[in-house]
């Protein structure tokens, strides 16, 4: 389903999610069939190719209900525990208003201004500059930011980042991403299991394990048949793994462009989104994070071969889109502010910031005037001085 606008993008994400879930079961069956081929060769290495293919098909039919239950169980585990798994990988921890008043108030103001349910707020201890959203329903939605991002970005830029992640939640991107991670995870797990069994087993493809066939018969048709079938099984496992990686291609790169645009729509400040991207550029690598986690982040500096599997457009192209369609200004690559060690280095004088511009900004406002939903006194936190 092609997406030509925001609402078709959301509908497309739901449709793709359904297809990916169906694809997960199909890939599981392919892996089970490949495993059955290998098991038949281990049991009797003196058969023909036709014999192995037929026997493996019978095994697949017998294992079909168990494979279906296993795939469904994996989905249930992912549904309830994916956030815990992500937190275990990234070290993200829940924070409250008392722990992070600046960050909490920025996120809550954005949610109040647009009537968006408040997601959980998490912070991970990392010098990297990045953020990501996760969750499959309203009770699970969360936004995680790094401590490095909090130190390097000012309030307007952090607001833009939060608006970007909230747009991912609103557009249904996070559900699609979690499902893609589930598929890649289960296929990768079973694929690695089969390969470990293959390489750490001493198999004799010449018929030594078969007592029911003569040596001459095994040499004439069995050994070659076993080798061919093992090659077929390995090819199926590789195909399943490759398809699980190609699932990433279902994650249209336009989702990042739409999230950038959604952030501008929420904050009315394209320049803040541009400067945030420029500061984060090439500084978002999370040490120890899996590729699945990096694909959920605001910026993923990791690239596949020849950019084939890249899930994010380049920062240059994202900035160019904001300049063209939102009227922002590109300052070019930015150096990070010096770290004063007191946690206030990011709170630079607003007058030093570029004047917000574009169709959502106030062109008559003086340089450095705050833009967005809290530009005027509002909300439970009282007047802005």
Kindly list the catalytic residues. 165
Q: What's CA 132's distance to the chain center, in Å?
A: 9
Contact 13, 176 (CB under 8 A): yes
Give the phi and the psi of residue 275 in degrees, each rounded to 5: -65, -35
* 311/240 Cα distance (integer angstroms): 20
Contact 280, 300 (CB under 8 A): no
143 is written with which tokens?
Answer: 């936004």
Of 30, 40, 56, the C-alpha closest to 236 is 30
* 280/303 Cα distance (integer angstroms): 16
CB proximity list for 206: less than 8 A, separation 6 or greater: 45, 218, 219, 222, 223
Of 245, 227, 237, the C-alpha closest to 196 is 237
* 147/103 Cα distance (integer angstroms): 11
- How many residues are present in the chain? 385
CB proximity list for 96: less than 8 A, separation 6 or greater: 104
* 87/85 Cα distance (integer angstroms): 5
317 is written with which tokens?
Answer: 């192209």
Of 208, 91, 202, the C-alpha closest to 146 is 91
Rg (alpha carbons) of the chain, rounded to whole number: 26
Of 97, 258, 300, the C-alpha closest to 164 is 258
Alpha-carbon separation of residue 269 from 15, 158, 214, 364 (angstroms): 32, 12, 80, 14
Contact 232, 37 (CB under 8 A): yes
Contact 33, 57 (CB under 8 A): yes
């Amino acid at each position: 389903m092609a997406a030509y606008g925001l609402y078709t993008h959301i509908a497309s994400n739901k449709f793709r999610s359904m297809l990916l879930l169906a694809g997960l079961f199909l890939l599981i069956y392919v892996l089970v069939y490949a495993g059955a081929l290998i098991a038949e060769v281990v049991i009797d290495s003196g058969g023909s190719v036709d014999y192995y293919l037929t026997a493996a098909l019978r095994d697949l039919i017998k294992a079909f209900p168990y494979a279906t239950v296993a795939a469904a169980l994996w989905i249930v585990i992912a549904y309830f525990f994916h956030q815990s798994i992500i937190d275990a990988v990234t070290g993200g921890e829940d924070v409250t208003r008392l722990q992070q008043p600046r960050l909490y108030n920025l996120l809550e103001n954005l949610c109040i201004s647009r009537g968006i349910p408040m997601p959980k707020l998490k912070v991970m201890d990392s010098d990297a500059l990045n953020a990501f959203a996760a969750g499959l329903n309203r009770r699970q939605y969360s936004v995680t930011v790094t401590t490095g991002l909090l130190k390097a970005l000012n309030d307007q830029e952090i607001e833009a980042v939060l608006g970007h992640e909230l747009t991912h939640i609103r557009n249904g991107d996070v559900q699609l991403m979690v499902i893609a991670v589930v598929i890649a995870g289960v296929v990768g797990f079973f694929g690695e299991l089969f390969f470990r069994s293959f390489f750490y087993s001493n198999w004799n493809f010449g018929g030594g394990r078969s007592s029911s066939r003569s040596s001459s018969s095994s040499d004439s048709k069995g050994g070659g048949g076993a080798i061919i079938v093992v090659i077929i099984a390995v090819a199926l496992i590789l195909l399943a793994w490759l398809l699980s990686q190609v699932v990433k291609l279902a994650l249209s790169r336009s989702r990042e462009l739409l999230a950038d645009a959604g952030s501008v729509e929420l904050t009315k400040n394209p320049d803040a989104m541009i400067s945030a991207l420029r500061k984060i550029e090439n500084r978002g690598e999370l040490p120890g994070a899996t590729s699945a986690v990096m694909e959920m982040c605001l910026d993923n500096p990791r690239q596949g071969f020849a950019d084939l599997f890249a899930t994010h457009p380049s920062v240059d192209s994202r900035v160019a889109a904001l300049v063209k369609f939102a009227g922002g200004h590109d300052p070019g690559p930015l150096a990070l502010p010096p770290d004063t060690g007191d946690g206030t280095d990011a709170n630079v004088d607003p007058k030093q910031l570029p004047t917000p511009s574009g169709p959502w900004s106030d062109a008559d406002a003086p340089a450095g005037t705050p833009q967005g939903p809290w530009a005027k006194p509002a909300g439970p936190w009282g007047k802005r001085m």
